[in-house]
Amino acid sequence: MNVTETGKEYITTMVGDKSGKLKVLLLDGETTPIVSMCTTQSSLLQNEVYLIDRIDNPNREKQRHLACIVFIRPSNDSIAKLCEELRNPRYASYELYFSNVVKKSQLERLAESDDYEVVKKVQESFADFLAVNKDLFNFSLTRNSLSIYSDGGWNPECLNRCTESLQAVLLGLKLRPQIRYDANSNMARKLAEELAYGIKQEENLFNFKTPRDSAPVLLILDRKNDPLTPLLTPWSYQAMVHEFIGIDNNRVDLRNTPEIRDELKEIVLSQNDDPFFADNMYHNFGDLGQSIKDYVSHYQSKTQSNMDIESIADMKRFVEEYPEFRRLSGNVSKHVTLVGELSRIVEKGQHLDVSELEQTLVCSDSHNDSLKQIQQIIAAPSISMENKVRLVALYGLRYEQKDNNSLKLLCEMLGQYEGQDAVQAAQAVINFACLAQRQEALFEEGFIAKAKGNIMGLKGIQNVYTQHRPLLEKTLTNLVKNKLREATHPYVRGAGRGPVSNNGVYEDDVQEVVVFIVGGVTYEEARLIAEINSQSSVRIVLGGTSIVNSGEFIQECLDQNHRGLLRGADPETRLRQLI
Amino acid sequence: MRKKRVIGTKVEPVKEPKVVQTSAAPTPPPPPTPPVVSTASPGPESHSATSLTCPICEETMLTLMQLNRHIDDVHGDGKVKGKTRASSEKPHTKPRPTDEMVTRRHWKHPGPGQTCHYPDCKRKLGARNGSRHCRHCGNIFCHGHSRYRMKLSRDAHHQPKGGIWCWVCKTCYTGREGYNDTTGTERDLTQEFKKKRQAKIDIQELSVNKLENRLRRLAEESIENESSGPWWKPKAAVTASVPWQEDSTQPNCPECQVKFTFLIRPHHCRVCGKVVCGQTSTQCSLPVGVNILINSLDMKEEFSDTIPTDCEPIRICMTCKNTVFGRRNFQRDVNSDPSELLKLYNTMTHLTTSIENMMPRFQKELEETIASKKMAGMHPKDILAASKLRKRLLDTFSQLDSAARRVGALEGLSPTEERIQQQIYTAAVSFLQEKMLPLKTLPKVLGSEATAPEPAKPRPPANYKALQQQLVVMEEQRFMVENMMLEAKQRRKYDELGPLEMSVKDLDKEIEILRKRLGDEAFV
């Protein structure tokens, strides 16, 4: 249950065969990021891969002494390119690897193109996912400004892609799961059913040798049931970087940072080959500051010890440790720059103030105070439009049921200060995830909640900025305890459940879970999963159509809204009712 | 043929062809009765024995008692009970399995003041931290390290199917089969692919052969014409091999779609007979000289020395050329001499593999040397072997280094080759940096050893040798540090330059001293 390792293992089997021949690796648009996230240039070099190219690059030179390894997604486009390549081979021999199931017809086309018998091996290696952390993957479906929504449901192309890739994830992890989904989401249900059908079609592939103690569970959720997590400002390292700067396939673009050095314009943040990041990716901003301070002083002591070289023995030690030291120095400057940039952005955008208000809105019940503060913030010129939109959206979601709420007033104010676009964005979010769309309570209301709040007040809140816990936590706790109700998370039709004991309780433990969130997953949820994984015996892997931050989430809501696809009434009328 | 046989034997035509086919096989299938007779022949007892098989797993049994026992033991709580449960619909008849059914004979006895058995967990067992036996290994753990559950059989082995859920420790939980398996599913389609390809290749080969034969004939004819007939009528002879397409049927060239005009004339491919244009710019068809043809068709032996130089060239269209010569050309390219870059790369691979082979041997020697150093008795022979190996390794390293340099110095490469060149160079440099480090520990060991055994009479040669070795090491290090400085400069890491420069200075000083002491012998 480790997606990065699985991906790495796949790549290793592809390039690992040492023949003493120079190798070229041919990729397509889909597999390039997959390979780049799983492996490094130097490990490819060790395996004699000296050239990496794209199959859709028509200007490749003939190198008929090189052995070629092709790794592509079997899309029609890539297969056509590969056929062309085989008909007029540029390299001496070919090994073909596909990231997903190859259709019979595609295989036939390839076989017919191979006139010179250059193909030595054909294999399906199911690495059709982007492994971000060891327990987090995504499909980056929204990468090419593609929307997964279309006409009240899935964009068919995306649904297809999603089903295939999710199937590849299951094959990679060797799981044949029971599939459960959010009952109120058509998209989750559709994906679950397609996937169940797909698994049935590939019965042979899903026939794994090592039996499991209990059936794994695949839980397909819909983003609309928890709009809060992507809207709130996150404060753990990885999540912050994505929220404030943006992570794209583990790469961070720092070109817009003032006074940036050339080599730091694009940096890689990967759990695998960056020990500092692996240790601190889930730490919050405060702890992070401390760790980075320690890291720098560690580096300084190293430099100091390198400065006073007095004997030959010192020198020898120095030469031996130097490569390690150089790596360390690169890493230190990377993280110092990144954390510096983060704190600059946080300070400039007054994100701490905004975040405090967000948490109060979501976690406690103080309507009038919150309203006043939101109004102040909307009027403040130094705060970005996005933050204001988020606050208004949160207010709308939080006090949706309150009679005579002031959403209309806030919207008017937002329009006055930031323009109609902002109002539209806020309304899109509220439309996307309003009470009618959700199936579970996000906010605790009534007597018990108040009592709880009082107790919390007595104990004192640990951290004002991270009070909110994602809905996913509750769902998973219930799932592991076998208490997740079938009314909210039913099984795919036809696929039954394991043994039931006498008193009607399921006996089997849940030990392996794959969670997939349609509409995007957040790094904050990834942090939660890592926490659960380290603290209990259950193993969870989290995935999503993409990894969203608040900006991307709002954009997605807008995408969906523009196509007028909410169930029931059209958004305009719904909104009028709302306000 | 099959039809004939069917009629001959007067088998009804309705009969499935498969049956006919099998009957057409040279040896008729043996009648089904003999085996039964043969098994029955030894005696009636053995016959009854063969009929006693387990209805579930089909294992043969000798006696009825054994079969009963087998069914109870092996299929006791599995399928058989499942069947009865399904038929009777009374779930409460089956007691719920608890982990008390799993054997506890292997449990360890708790001692006074015992701590959790998990490595590095020092917690004391008791009411506070909990105390629980792992049902799998029998050791006792604190709560934190025994909150895992796994299915076990009654004799406490892991049994995913039909086992009983039991508490186990973390070690057993994470150590079970498949837990740390990160290899994903793969499916090999090579066979299927090859089968599909073969069908196409067979047809392809036929057509290639056909065209090739025609071409051979054409070449032969062309040569004969030249040697025997007058030069103005070769056409009739050449056309004979394939009917020519009428000019009027093709207003355009099928390859480049150009319209035939007075200037762009239609030509005929002599191999397939089709009409194509003869423009030199598109190369839809080209007249190929006979001697070139003979060369590339490997017909040299047939016309050892009588190839006339000026016989009529043969016009071949693009399609035919690709069909006939494509594969040949490809094979020729693959088998052709590799470029300078690739040759160097091959030598480098040889060197790296020999280094990788030598390395473990060397390390073993080194360990032995260190071990024997700790023991009082010291064998100079060991040191000698180790330093010999070290010398060979160093030689190989320097060879690799020079090969890498030669790769780096290559010029006039195509852009792709340049990219490869750069990659090879970086790979070699990182290999050198990584592998040469352990080599440095040797002089420390050898150096102190080489002088230690014979302190009484410091013979000059021995001393010289040690000093020389030191000098070599120093120069090596100086070279490496200089390299690092260059790199640091390139990366603009000026903060690293300070210590590096200082170390170079130190090294220079040391080298100077050594040189002075060695005098003329320094350059050996």
Rounded to whole angstroms, the Cα distance separating B65 from B62 reads: 9
Per-window interface: A 427-486 vs B, CB < 8 A: none
CA-atom Rg of chain B in angstroms: 42
Partners of B345 on chain A (C-beta within 8 Å) are 22
Q: Answer yes or no: do B448 and B467 share one domain.
A: no
pLDDT classification of B221: cutoffs 50, 70, 90: confident
- Could you say which DSSP state residue B98 is in? -
Q: Do B184 and A2 touch (CB under 8 A)?
A: no
Q: Which of B163, B186, B416 sits opposite A124 (nearest CB)?
A: B186
Q: Answer yes or no: do B467 and B367 share one domain.
A: no
Residue A527 has phi, psi (to 5 degrees) of -65, -45
* ipTM, 2 dp: 0.82
Q: Answer yes or no: do B443 and B351 share one domain.
A: yes
- Beta bridge pairs of residue A506: A500
Q: Which residues of A91-108 are buried (b: 16+ CB within 10 A; e: fewer)?
A: bbbbbbbbbbbbeeebbb
State pLDDT tens for residues A192-209.
Answer: 999 999 998 888 888 888
pLDDT classification of B122: cutoffs 50, 70, 90: confident
pLDDT classification of B277: cutoffs 50, 70, 90: confident
Residue A284 has phi, psi (to 5 degrees) of -80, 175
**pLDDT of amino acid A531:** 93
Q: How many domains does chain B have?
A: 5
Q: Do A210 and B349 touch (CB under 8 A)?
A: no
Give the residue from A70, A312, A502 with the most B CB atoms within 10 Å of its CB, the best one to mutate: A312
Of all residues in chain A, the one with the smallest CA distance to B473 is A316
State pLDDT tens for residues B124-165.
Answer: 888 888 888 899 988 888 888 888 888 888 888 888 887 888
Q: Which of B204, B338, B433 sits opposite A65 (nearest CB)?
A: B338
**pLDDT of amino acid B162:** 79
State pLDDT tens for residues A358-408.
Answer: 988 888 778 888 899 999 999 988 888 889 999 999 999 888 888 788 888
Tokens of residue A175, six digits? 């799981």
Give me the helices (H) in A237-311, please: 237-244, 275-280, 285-307
Our CA-based measurement puts residue B487 at a distance from the nearest CA of chain A, in whole angstroms, of 11
Q: Answer yes or no: do B208 and B134 share one domain.
A: no
Our CA-based measurement puts residue A36 at a distance from the nearest CA of chain B, in whole angstroms, of 17
- Could you say which DSSP state residue A103 is in? P
Q: Do B186 and A174 touch (CB under 8 A)?
A: no
All residues at 6 or more sequence positions from B470 whose CB lies less than 8 Å from its CB, including other chains: B443, B447, B514
Per-window interface: A 187-216 vs B, CB < 8 A: 205, 208, 210-214
Please state which of the ranges A186-195, A244-253, B236-245, B513-522 shows the lowest mean pLDDT: B236-245
Is the Cβ–Cβ distance between B449 and B378 less than 8 Å?
Answer: yes
Q: Average pLDDT of B433-439?
A: 70
Is the Cβ–Cβ distance between B491 and A298 less than 8 Å?
Answer: no
Q: Do B185 and A20 touch (CB under 8 A)?
A: no
- DSSP 3-state of B149: strand
Q: Average pLDDT of B446-463?
A: 43
Report which of B428, B193, B74 is spatially closest to residue A83, judged by C-alpha positions.
Answer: B193
Cα angle: A391, vertex A529, A226; to 5 degrees? 35
Rounded to whole angstroms, the Cα distance separating B183 from A208 reads: 12
Partners of A19 on chain B (C-beta within 8 Å) are none
Our CA-based measurement puts residue A411 at a distance from the nearest CA of chain B, in whole angstroms, of 51
Q: Answer yes or no: do B221 and B325 share one domain.
A: yes
Our CA-based measurement puts residue A172 at a distance from the nearest CA of chain B, in whole angstroms, of 4
**pLDDT of amino acid B440:** 61
Q: Do B330 and A107 touch (CB under 8 A)?
A: no
Q: Do A5 and B506 touch (CB under 8 A)?
A: no
Q: Do B189 and A112 touch (CB under 8 A)?
A: no
Is the Cβ–Cβ distance between B50 and B43 less than 8 Å?
Answer: no
CA separation (Å) from A502 to A506, B27, B76, B87, B150? 9, 62, 20, 17, 21
Low pLDDT (below 50) residues in chain A: 499, 501-502, 564-571, 573-579
**pLDDT of amino acid A497:** 54
Q: Do B160 and A124 touch (CB under 8 A)?
A: no
CA separation (Å) from A291 to A236, A254, A287, A298, B39? 13, 22, 6, 10, 81
All residues at 6 or more sequence positions from B250 whose CB lies less than 8 Å from its CB, including other chains: B260, B266, B274, B275
Rounded to whole angstroms, the Cα distance separating B327 from B319 reads: 13
Tokens of residue B359, six digits? 């390395």
CA separation (Å) from A185 to A161, A494, B119, B219? 19, 19, 47, 74
pLDDT of B449 > 80? The answer is no
Tally C-beta pairs within 8 A across A and B: 190
B75 vs A347: which has the higher pLDDT: A347
In this structure, chain B runs to a length of: 524
Residue B498 has phi, psi (to 5 degrees) of -55, -65
Q: Answer yes or no: do B316 and B346 share one domain.
A: no
Confirm whether B244 is domain-assigned: yes
Q: Do A501 and B96 touch (CB under 8 A)?
A: yes
Report which of B104, B92, B75, B90 is spatially closest to residue B162, judged by C-alpha positions.
Answer: B75
**pLDDT of amino acid A574:** 45
- Beta bridge pairs of residue B158: B152
CA separation (Å) from A210 to A83, A176, B177? 37, 11, 7
Partners of A25 on chain B (C-beta within 8 Å) are none
Q: Do B200 and A115 touch (CB under 8 A)?
A: yes
A364 vs B23: which has the higher pLDDT: A364
Q: Do A20 and B165 touch (CB under 8 A)?
A: no
Cα angle: B449, vertex B454, B459; to 5 degrees? 110
Q: Do B333 and A263 touch (CB under 8 A)?
A: no
Residue B140 has phi, psi (to 5 degrees) of -110, 135
Confirm whether B65 is domain-assigned: yes
CA separation (Å) from A409 to A403, A416, A428, A579, B342? 14, 11, 17, 9, 74
| E strand segments, A182-264 | 217-222, 247-248, 251-253
Partners of B419 on chain A (C-beta within 8 Å) are 50-51
Rounded to whole angstroms, the Cα distance separating B4 from A579 reads: 89
Give the residue from B85, B98, B182 with the most A CB atoms within 10 Å of its CB, the best one to mutate: B182
The packing angle between helices B33-40 and B44-51, to 10°, is: 120
Our CA-based measurement puts residue B332 at a distance from the nearest CA of chain A, in whole angstroms, of 10
Our CA-based measurement puts residue A213 at a distance from the nearest CA of chain B, in whole angstroms, of 4
Do the strands A251-253 and B285-288 form a parallel or antiparallel pair, or are they unpaired? unpaired
Q: Answer yes or no: do B207 and B326 share one domain.
A: yes
**pLDDT of amino acid B349:** 86
Q: Which of B148, B416, B510 sits opposite A51 (nearest CB)?
A: B416
pLDDT classification of B36: cutoffs 50, 70, 90: very low
Q: Answer yes or no: do B320 and B206 share one domain.
A: yes
- DSSP 3-state of A491: strand
Tokens of residue B502, six digits? 């200082």
Report which of A575, A555, A568 is spatially closest to residue A148, judged by C-alpha positions.
Answer: A555
Give the residue from B134, B187, B322 with the most A CB atoms within 10 Å of its CB, the best one to mutate: B187
**pLDDT of amino acid B127:** 81
Tokens of residue B155, six digits? 């004799």
Our CA-based measurement puts residue B120 at a distance from the nearest CA of chain A, in whole angstroms, of 17
Our CA-based measurement puts residue B245 at a distance from the nearest CA of chain A, in whole angstroms, of 27
Domains and CATH numbers, chain A: 3-127 (3.40.50.2060), 132-226+470-548 (3.40.50.1910), 253-348 (no CATH), 350-467+567-579 (1.25.40)
Q: Answer yes or no: do B414 and B297 share one domain.
A: no
Rounded to whole angstroms, the Cα distance separating A78 from A73 reads: 7
B301 vs A428: which has the higher pLDDT: A428
Cα angle: A223, vertex A226, A227; to 5 degrees? 85
Is the Cβ–Cβ distance between A267 and A253 less than 8 Å?
Answer: no
Of the ranges A11-25, A228-242, B56-70, B213-227, the best mean pLDDT one: A228-242
A373 vs B287: which has the higher pLDDT: A373
Is the Cβ–Cβ distance between B312 and B222 less than 8 Å?
Answer: yes
Q: Do A115 and B327 touch (CB under 8 A)?
A: yes
Our CA-based measurement puts residue A191 at a distance from the nearest CA of chain B, in whole angstroms, of 22
* Cβ neighbour number for residue A63 with a 10 Å cutoff: 22
B223 vs A546: which has the higher pLDDT: A546
Confirm whether B188 is domain-assigned: no
Report which of A86, A558, A539, A293 is spatially closest to residue B170, judged by C-alpha positions.
Answer: A539
**Given CB atoms, is A319 within the 8 Å cutoff of chain B?**
yes
Report which of B334, B492, B351 is spatially closest to residue B424, judged by C-alpha positions.
Answer: B351
Rounded to whole angstroms, the Cα distance separating A328 from B394 reads: 29
State pLDDT tens for residues B409-426.
Answer: 888 778 888 888 888 888
Our CA-based measurement puts residue A240 at a distance from the nearest CA of chain B, in whole angstroms, of 28
**pLDDT of amino acid B165:** 86
| E strand or H helix at B120 | none
Confirm whether B148 is domain-assigned: yes
Rounded to whole angstroms, the Cα distance separating A432 from A224 reads: 6
Report which of A341, A389, A360 is spatially closest to residue A550, judged by C-alpha positions.
Answer: A389
Locate tokens 């002494």: which residue?
Answer: A65
Partners of B197 on chain A (C-beta within 8 Å) are 111-112, 114, 117, 119
CATH code, domain carrying B228:
3.30.40.10
**Given CB atoms, is A498 within the 8 Å cutoff of chain B?**
no
- Could you say which DSSP state residue A133 is in? E
Q: Do B188 and A309 touch (CB under 8 A)?
A: no
Q: Which of B184, B417, B477 sits opposite A127 (nearest CB)?
A: B184
- Beta bridge pairs of residue A125: B186
Tokens of residue A510, six digits? 């849940």
**pLDDT of amino acid B441:** 58
Rounded to whole angstroms, the Cα distance separating B30 from B385 reads: 71
Confirm whether B286 is domain-assigned: yes
Locate tokens 């039913």: which residue?
Answer: A490
State pLDDT tens for residues B342-372.
Answer: 888 888 888 888 888 888 887 777 777 767 6
pLDDT of B495 > 80? The answer is no
**Given CB atoms, is A504 within the 8 Å cutoff of chain B?**
no
Rounded to whole angstroms, the Cα distance separating A517 from A222 reads: 5
* Cβ neighbour number for residue A512 with a 10 Å cutoff: 20
Residue B328: which domain range? 201-335
Rounded to whole angstroms, the Cα distance separating A213 from A174 reads: 14
Q: Answer yes or no: do B348 and B441 share one domain.
A: yes
Confirm whether B480 is domain-assigned: yes
Mean pLDDT taken over chain B: 72
Partners of A64 on chain B (C-beta within 8 Å) are 330, 333-334, 336
Q: Helix, strand, coil % (nearest 5) of chain B?
A: 55, 10, 35
Give the residue from A82, A116, A124, A510 with the most B CB atoms within 10 Å of its CB, the best one to mutate: A116
Is the Cβ–Cβ distance between A235 and A465 less than 8 Å?
Answer: yes
Tokens of residue B17, six digits? 């062809």
Rounded to whole angstroms, the Cα distance separating B103 from B154 reads: 6
**pLDDT of amino acid B263:** 80
Our CA-based measurement puts residue B274 at a distance from the nearest CA of chain A, in whole angstroms, of 23
**pLDDT of amino acid A125:** 93
**pLDDT of amino acid A449:** 60
- DSSP 3-state of B95: coil
Confirm whether B346 is domain-assigned: yes
Q: Answer yes or no: do B376 and B403 share one domain.
A: yes
Q: Answer yes or no: do B285 and B328 share one domain.
A: yes
**pLDDT of amino acid A456:** 58
Q: Do A111 and B197 touch (CB under 8 A)?
A: yes
Q: Which long-range contacts (CB under 8 A, 24 or more apart) does B257-265 make?
A: B258/B282
Confirm whether B195 is domain-assigned: no
